[in-house]
């Protein structure tokens, strides 16, 4: 049986760890609420943009804009959104498992988040750019990422751009998701509810001024910019949610471990007392 002093040290160490994980849980919970709200706030705007694009579908030729042009995929660019810090459960592990599904010979990566950069470097994957992941990202900051992706697609360096990120479902669920960004495929299937379809009372959908193709020139880059921004907000919400849950589990496990160690300590202490009583009784009998 373990020494009483060693058990006391372990109990103290686990209690200290539980205090740290509890503090991290509270911090993550505070950040999580703000990150979740920011991610949810942009959904209505994204749905409205999708609504406009739906109405453009029958008004223009799908090949009339370079961001819609499809070509044979010889080179692919993946925007990998990960976290800067660990201690967020299996969030990054599940994400990096999806990275391995891409062909290393034809795929290059843009890393957003330090953990993703470290993983890609270890796996000898081609990194063409990396960007920091800020606690409070702004739309202007994320446009740097989307402009880089658009530039590589338009100049022919890549034939397809994919976004790989931890999609925020709810506080307990985050799913690694790979979604195409360029060419824009939302004109064919965007998966939005019927109430966000064409406007009622207009057989031809929304009326555009000056014309639909000029509206496309303005809205498609904005669609890509906002898509990247919304992805980054979702990544932040997923990170803080996963960290809060992971730290809560760590705190609960630490408390259970303290209970087990306390029980072990009491047993060892009782055994020590019983042994001393037996030794005293035996010595007294020997003297008597």
Catalytic residue positions, numbered: 88
DSSP string, 244-258: HHHHHHHHHHHHHHH
β-bridge partners, 151: none
CA distance 64 to 215: 12
Given a contact cutoff of 8 angstroms between Cβ atoms, the answer to whether 109 and 125 are in contact is: yes
Instruction: Compute how many other C-beta atoms are within 10 angstroms of the C-beta atom of residue 56.
Output: 21
Location of structure tokens 């993550």 = 28
| Dihedral sign (CA 175, 179, 185, 187) | positive
Q: How far is CA 80 from CA 48, 144, 220, 229, 235, in A?
A: 26, 15, 21, 13, 10
**Closest Cα to residue 235, out of 141, 149, 117, 112?**
112
Q: What is the CA radius of gyration of the chain?
A: 28
CA distance 178 to 137: 21
Helices marked H in the chain = 4-41, 43-56, 91-99, 114-122, 139-154, 212-287
Helix (H, G, I), strand (E, B) or coil at 6: helix
CA distance 100 to 102: 5
């Amino acid at each position: 049986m373990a020494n009483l002093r060693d058990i006391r040290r372990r109990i103290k160490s686990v209690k200290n760890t539980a205090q740290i994980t509890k503090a991290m849980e509270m911090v993550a919970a505070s950040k999580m609420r703000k990150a979740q709200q920011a991610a949810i706030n942009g959904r209505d705007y994204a749905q409205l943009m999708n609504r406009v694009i739906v109405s453009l579908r029958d008004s223009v030729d799908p090949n009339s804009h370079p961001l819609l042009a499809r070509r044979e995929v010889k080179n692919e660019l993946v925007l990998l959104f990960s976290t800067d810090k660990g201690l967020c459960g299996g969030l990054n592990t599940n994400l990096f498992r999806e990275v391995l599904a891409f062909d290393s010979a034809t795929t290059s990566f843009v890393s957003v988040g330090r953990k993703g950069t470290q993983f890609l470097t270890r796996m000898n994957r081609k990194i063409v750019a990396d960007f920091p992941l800020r606690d409070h990202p702004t739309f202007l900051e994320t446009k740097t990422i989307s402009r880089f992706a658009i530039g590589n697609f338009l100049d022919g360096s890549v034939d397809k751009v994919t976004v790989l990120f931890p999609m925020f479902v709810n506080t307990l669920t985050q799913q690694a998701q790979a979604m195409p960004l360029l060419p824009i495929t939302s004109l064919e299937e965007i998966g939005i509810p019927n109430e966000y379809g064409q406007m009622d009372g207009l057989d031809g959908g929304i009326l555009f001024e000056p014309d639909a193709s000029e509206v496309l020139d303005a809205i498609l880059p904005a669609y890509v910019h906002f898509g990247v921004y919304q992805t980054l907000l979702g990544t932040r919400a997923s990170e803080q949610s996963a960290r809060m849950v992971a730290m809560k589990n760590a705190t609960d496990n630490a408390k259970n471990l303290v209970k087990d160690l306390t029980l072990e300590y009491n047993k060892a202490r009782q055994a020590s007392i019983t042994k001393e009583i037996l030794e005293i009784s035996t010595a007294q009998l020997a003297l008597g």
